[in-house]
Amino acid sequence: MNGIDLRAAIYARYSSDQQNDRSIEDQVALCRQVAAREGLEVVQIFEDRAISGASAARLDYQQMVRAAESDQFGVLICEGTSRLGRRLADMAALHDRLKFWSVRLLTVQHGWMGELQTLFLGTMAQMQLTELREQTIRGQRGVVREGRIPGGLCYGYRAAAGGRPGEREVSEDEAAVIRRIYRDYAAGLSAAAIARALNTERVPGPRGGA
C-alpha cells in the first residue's frame, strides 16, 4: 500500500428496473468489507438510487467526480465498474480523470483496476446495455403487433377490465373532458383560457400509472 492515499470513497447505484433500495445498502456493506481488508478509511459515500448508468448526469456521481478532483479521497470503491457507468465513453473519461488526479479504482468484483481492465469491462457493460435496449424494443414491438399499448396510460383511457397488460378501454369521464377541450379550442378559446376554466372547476387532470 506504499504511496496510496488511504482515504476512500464508496460509490453505489441501482437501476429502478432491476433492483430496489436495499441494493444500495448491500453494495455499501460489500465495499466497506473491501476497504477494511485493504486498510482503507472510508471518508465519503455517494449513492444514486433508481437511476440508469446509461448517463453520467447523476447527482451523486457528479458530486463524486468533483470530490475526486478536489483531492477529498485517494481511492474510489464500487461493487463493479457497471455501477459507475454503462457507456464506454463515460468509463474512459472517468478513468482518465481519476488517473490524472492520482485516484485509484478498487472494485469488489475484480479488485484493483488497471487501465485495460477498466476499459474492457466498460466495453462489456455497454454491450449489455445495447442488448437490453434491443430486447426491450423487440418486446414493445411484439406488444404493438398484438394490438396492445407498450407504454403507460394516456389521459382518456384506462386499463381494460380483465384484460392483459397493455390493453386499454375508453374512460368516459376523461373522454368527455377531452371532447370539451377540442370544442372550446374550435370555438376560439386559447389553451390558457381552457386550462384556467378546468382548474377553476377542479376537473381532475392526467394521472400517473402504467
Query: pLDDT band at residue 139, thresholds of 50, 70 and 90?
Result: low
C-alpha grid cell, residue 1: 500500500
209: left (phi over 0), alpha (psi -120 to 50) or beta: left
**Domains in the chain: ranges and CATH:** 7-133 (3.40.50.1390), 157-200 (no CATH)
pLDDT in tens, 26-35: 999 999 999 9
Would you say residue 117 has pLDDT above 80?
A: no
Reduced to 3 states, what is the DSSP secondary structure of residue 85?
coil
For the segment 144-155, the average pLDDT, to the nearest whole number, is: 73
Predicted TM-score (pTM) of the model is 0.59
Cell numbers for 170:
375508453
* E-strand stretches of 38-188: 41-48, 75-78, 104-107, 111-112, 157-159, 168-170
